[in-house]
Amino acid sequence: MADQTYEEMIKSIEELLGELDHKDIPLDDAVTKYKKGIELIEACTQKLESIEKELRVIE
């Protein structure tokens, strides 16, 4: 995930949400995809916080 851009991570989250939207997904797969989504959201948050700190330094 660290090598993905913010936009790539958002796209991955959107894809996971689309997959989770299917009602016939096995529970174990759904839980795995959910956990992956949470990891991606946390990585996005960290990336945004890092960028925000950089912008504060520039100001």
Confidence (pTM): 0.84
Residue 41 near residue 10 (C-beta atoms within 8 A): no
Match 């991606």 to its residue by tokens.
40
Q: 23 exposed, middle or buried (CB, 10 Å; 0-12, 13-18, 19+)?
A: exposed
Query: What H or E segment, with its residue span, contains residue 1?
Result: none
- φ/ψ of residue 17, rounded to 5: -60, -40
pLDDT digits (tens, 9 = 90+) for 6-57: 999 999 999 999 999 987 999 999 999 999 999 999 999 999 999 999 999 8
Q: Give the domain ranges of the chain.
A: 6-58
The first and second tokens of residue 50, run together, are: 């890092």
